[in-house]
A and B are shown apart, each in its own frame.
Chain A
Amino acid sequence: MAFDELRVNGGSYPLAAAVGRTLAETLREDLGLTGTKVACGEGHCGACTVLLDGVPTLSCITLVHTVGNRDVTTIEGLREHPLVASFVRADALQCGFCTPGQIVSAAALVAAIPSPTREEVRHAMSGNLCRCGAYPKIEEAVVTWQD
């Protein structure tokens, strides 16, 4: 495992974080990638979801030094993903604070299942809380992401 660098969205960054620092803190505070949000800080809400080698991971409870040489993908790395347009089109966001995490989770889902059923969407996305209740339109955005 590499302990001296962090691979994020295709780039490589020197890792100078103190032991105990979370991936979310490193992304947000050290790398300025504030698209990843922290809403609970203890792995309950999904707002901080990023991909590690394509796998949705809660960055607020992942210590940065455990990432190793896995590729980190944040919302900044998914800005051109068609899900962004489908979320906007379907009005699948209100305050938008949970939205980057929702899109990251959805990106992993559609990578695995390009045409997910509504049931599959509800199953895969149930770890991403949205207090505004944009859920019906999140479901719509994910099932129509290829339109």
Chain B
Amino acid sequence: MARLIRTEKEVEGHYTEQWIVVDEDALDQWPAGPLQTVGKPAPRVDGRERARGEATYTADIQLPGMLHAAVLRSPHARARVRSLSLSSVLAAPGVRAVLEPGDSHVLTDEPGYHGAAVAAVAADTFAQARAALAQAAVEWEVLEPLLDPDQAVEKGSLVSEPNVSERGATERGVSEAEAVVEAEYRTQTVLHNSLETHQAVCVWESGRLDVYISTQFLWGVRATVAEQLELPPDKVRVVCNFMGGGFGSKNGPGEYTFIAAELARRTGRPVRCALTRREENLATGNRNSTIQRLTAGARSDGTLTVLKGDYVNSVGFEGWSPSTGGPMELLYACENVRVAEHGAKLNTPPNAAFRAPGFVEGTFGLECLMDELAARLDLDPLELRMRNYADSDLVDGRPFSSKNLLECYRRAQPHWARREEVRARSQGPWKHGMGLASQVWYGGGGPPSYAWVRVGSDGRVQVVTAMQDIGTGSRTAMAQIAAEELGLSLDRIEVSLGDTSRGPFASISAGSSTIPSMGPAVRSAAADAARQIVEIAAQRYHLEERVLSLRNGHIVSADGGSWPIEEITELLGEGQILGKGARGPNPTGMRTLTFGVQLAEVAVDIETGEVLVDRIVAIHDVGRVINPLGASSQVEGGIIQGIGHTLSEDRLLDPGTGTVLTQTLDAYKLPTIADVPEIVAEFVDRPDEHLTNLGSKGLGEPPIIPTSAAIANAIRDATGANVRSLPITREEMLRALRAAREREGLERTAETVGEVRSA
């Protein structure tokens, strides 16, 4: 029965209350541990297509008569267009149409950041479009940009009201503390740099708009485009069968979709608007930089008495202020916590969600602060974390639907025990050390999400749902879930996704939500089909339904009978068995979160400041793991992005003009294969018994969250230096080493003075 419920929905840490209609989720969870297909390693079902270069990405869509768009972008961080003439552009070879401010809501004559879209052109080839744009006659009035985040907060230039939350009494917490650590941490701006740049191809046909787009959310694009263009949503079809990476930056339609749609409308031809790599580094979002002024206080036994965080998020010209204080609120059982987040509105490119936005930055600050506190108290960092373990969500007192962080810590012990051995490797200028950091994040997913399952007379199965696989392996996980429920081998399952006109509504692929949102819907659809197969078999073989089940491609009966599934499906001829399923509700009154701990081993050359990461161990609690092979790939990928974030990646601005200096992949330093350490991924792999018919949570984001803090803490262990600013370049490392030497010198002087006095 369809049930109307009011529920809380969470995406990337945003909670909204909404009405939803859900089907009953009456299926019991499978037993824990590896099953026939679920829980066993499965190579990607679409791996061959991708590896052979057969998979068609948005970048590969070529339609007859397709035109190519190019976008004129502001070269200034803040400017006004005094005059703009596109007549020479329109006269250039191959040009079919131009757009100027006023022709589309995404074009502006008052750009507030370097790279803001001002005008656009469509031509027969991309080279012609680019060449034509160079003919644009623009007169700019260049204005003074606002670039300093602290200054923005002072002036009240904010994207939203400051977010302040407090529990307990932090002043009392400070006075009760026997040790207090105060420190300022900074994180840099980081760019997603998905290898497939942001792009869309738009085609109008009989008042209907087809949008081929590299996206993480087909249905979000459909809704936003329909609303903006005042079309009924069913007149917009959104397609993304294969997608070349997003990491949070492709959750919406972007300006390029609207530019392509308008140029396509004006020319009557398909139009591609694909960003160049340089545009990608300007105008597709970023992980905003932060300033974090933090305080932690504890009793001498390590019990936290207070945590305080004052955060400035450099959001940019538009965007939202992420929950940088989230980890401080959620990770530890501290009674007195105060978090204040300010989202600075600046003349810099807007931020966008980037793999655990806010939490990556906030965890760097918090988990480094915890280690500085451990050092002050002379406590083992792992012991300090266990001493402040949170058994329930202290924000609103809710129980966790499941939490196995303690088990993660227990499994971390043997790795942590290598610490002495690692330190003993230090030789000459190379100092070795080990550090760890915990993580907390969302990742429970939620309704609505739907799937259909189609069984043909050949006994093959097609799972149909209009979700997307952004490279995380969700297509494979869905096939595994359907295979498990239907008792079939994986090679008999096909997953059809990536097209809003072909399947039902499906979840966004962001916030580590694809598997926990879509998986239960697919299982429920497969169970519906399985039930029908059993019903038909019962009639065919004159048996009771309750004695029949599906296993290993067969219908088996309790008394030992066994018939290949095709024996039943064959009866159908051209008929099909159609199953449908929906994602059930989340558990009421509970908090669903993911947890984990990561340990890093590093080597630091104290003469040159070079940092090498030797090994990272990741132990995560994300409920049931559907595909251990794909899960380990997710962990490795998150850690490698985290290493880039920690050591090399930095979007640099000209401090005078606010223009972006790092627009290319030689200037913006992504990790290469040569930068990768040994990575060990472990999973607790216990289903969350309260969460859906699967008990699975998401894993996309957790592994990146604690990476930078674990590395910084290992650096402190190796050298005694507090690195408090990302990226940890050689310059930053040498600065931290100098500061540590100075501090040590001061302490030694103080000790000497003390000794002299006592003598």
Binding-face segment, B241-249, B433-441, B588-596, B690-698: B241-249
Binding-face segment, B191-199, B359-367, B399-407: B191-199
A-B interface pairs (CB < 8 A), number: 167
Q: Chain B residues near A26 (CB, 8 Å)?
A: none
> Given A29-B62, A41-B276, A91-B630, A76–B53 Cβ distance below 8 Å?
yes
Considering only residues 110-147 of chain A, those with a C-beta below 8 Å from chain B are 121-123, 125-139
A39: min CB distance to chain B, Å:
4
Q: Does A8 contact B (CB under 8 A)?
A: no
Contact, CB under 8 Å: A40 / B277: yes
Q: Does B484 contact A (CB under 8 A)?
A: no
Q: Does A34 contact B (CB under 8 A)?
A: yes
Main secondary structure on chain B at its contact with chain A?
loop
The residue on B at minimum CB distance from A44 is B665
Contact, CB under 8 Å: A131 / B245: yes
Contact, CB under 8 Å: B52 / A93: no
Contact, CB under 8 Å: B195 / A47: yes
Q: Does B671 contact A (CB under 8 A)?
A: yes
Q: Which of B62, B195, B629 contacts A39 (CB 8 A)?
A: B195
Binding-face segment, B20-28, B287-295, B465-473, B715-723: B465-473
Q: Which of B127, B472, B665, B671 contacts A94 (CB 8 A)?
A: B472
> Given A44-B666, A91-B629, A91-B630, A131–B673 Cβ distance below 8 Å?
no
Q: Does B60 contact A (CB under 8 A)?
A: yes
> Given A96-B242, A129-B670, A87–B51 Cβ distance below 8 Å?
yes
Q: Does A59 contact B (CB under 8 A)?
A: no
Contact, CB under 8 Å: A129 / B195: yes
Contact, CB under 8 Å: B244 / A93: no
Q: Does A75 contact B (CB under 8 A)?
A: yes
> Given A94-B637, A131-B247, A126–B673 Cβ distance below 8 Å?
yes
The residue on A at minimum CB distance from B244 is A97
The residue on A at minimum CB distance from B193 is A131
For the complex, what is the distance from the CA of A30 to the CA of B56, rounded to whole Å? 16
For the complex, what is the distance from the CA of A89 to the CA of B472, rounded to whole Å? 16
A side interface size, CB within 8 A: 55
Which one of A39, A127, A137 has the highest number of Cβ atoms from chain B below 10 Å of its Cβ?
A39
The residue on A at minimum CB distance from B126 is A25
Contact, CB under 8 Å: B674 / A91: no
Q: Does A23 contact B (CB under 8 A)?
A: no
B515: min CB distance to chain A, Å:
15
Q: Chain B residues near A95 (CB, 8 Å)?
A: 50, 194-196, 243-245, 470-471
Q: Does A51 contact B (CB under 8 A)?
A: no
Considering only residues 635-684 of chain B, those with a C-beta below 8 Å from chain A are 636-641, 664-666, 670-674, 676, 679
Bits for A20-57, please: 1 = Cβ < 8 Å to B, else 0: 11000000110011111111111011010000000000
Q: Does B633 contact A (CB under 8 A)?
A: yes
Q: Chain A residues near B670 (CB, 8 Å)?
A: 129, 131
B69: min CB distance to chain A, Å:
16
Contact, CB under 8 Å: B53 / A36: yes
Contact, CB under 8 Å: A75 / B671: no
Contact, CB under 8 Å: B636 / A135: yes
For the complex, what is the distance from the CA of A132 to the CA of B666, rounded to whole Å? 18
Q: Does B59 contact A (CB under 8 A)?
A: yes
The residue on A at minimum CB distance from B637 is A133
Considering only residues 65-110 of chain B, those with a C-beta below 8 Å from chain A are none
Q: Does B745 contact A (CB under 8 A)?
A: no
Contact, CB under 8 Å: A132 / B277: no
Q: Chain A residues near B48 (CB, 8 Å)?
A: 84-85, 88
For the complex, what is the distance from the CA of A33 to the CA of B52, rounded to whole Å? 11
The residue on A at minimum CB distance from B277 is A40
Which one of B53, B59, B244 has the highest number of Cβ atoms from chain A below 10 Å of its Cβ?
B53
The residue on A at minimum CB distance from B57 is A97
The residue on A at minimum CB distance from B665 is A44
Contact, CB under 8 Å: A134 / B277: no
> Given A95-B196, A131-B194, A133-B638, A37–B59 Cβ distance below 8 Å?
yes
For the complex, what is the distance from the CA of A127 to the CA of B672, rounded to whole Å? 7
Contact, CB under 8 Å: A94 / B673: no
Q: Chain A residues near B53 (CB, 8 Å)?
A: 33-37, 74-76, 79, 99-100
Contact, CB under 8 Å: B56 / A94: no
Contact, CB under 8 Å: A20 / B127: yes
Q: Does B55 contact A (CB under 8 A)?
A: yes
For the complex, what is the distance from the CA of A56 to the CA of B641, rounded to whole Å? 26
For the complex, what is the distance from the CA of A30 to the CA of B632, rounded to whole Å? 39
Q: Which 6 A-B pairs have the closest CB atoms?
A: A35-B53, A95-B471, A96-B50, A133-B640, A97-B244, A133-B637
A sample of 6 cross-chain residue pairs with beta-carbon separation below 8 angstroms, ordered by A number, consists of A95-B196, A96-B46, A96-B242, A97-B244, A136-B636, A139-B676
B contact residues vs A (CB 8 Å cutoff) = 43-44, 46-48, 50-57, 59-60, 62, 127, 192-197, 242-245, 247, 276-277, 470-473, 629-630, 632-633, 636-641, 664-666, 670-674, 676, 679
A contact residues vs B (CB 8 Å cutoff) = 20-21, 28-29, 32-42, 44-45, 47, 74-76, 79, 84-85, 87-89, 91, 93-100, 103, 121-123, 125-139
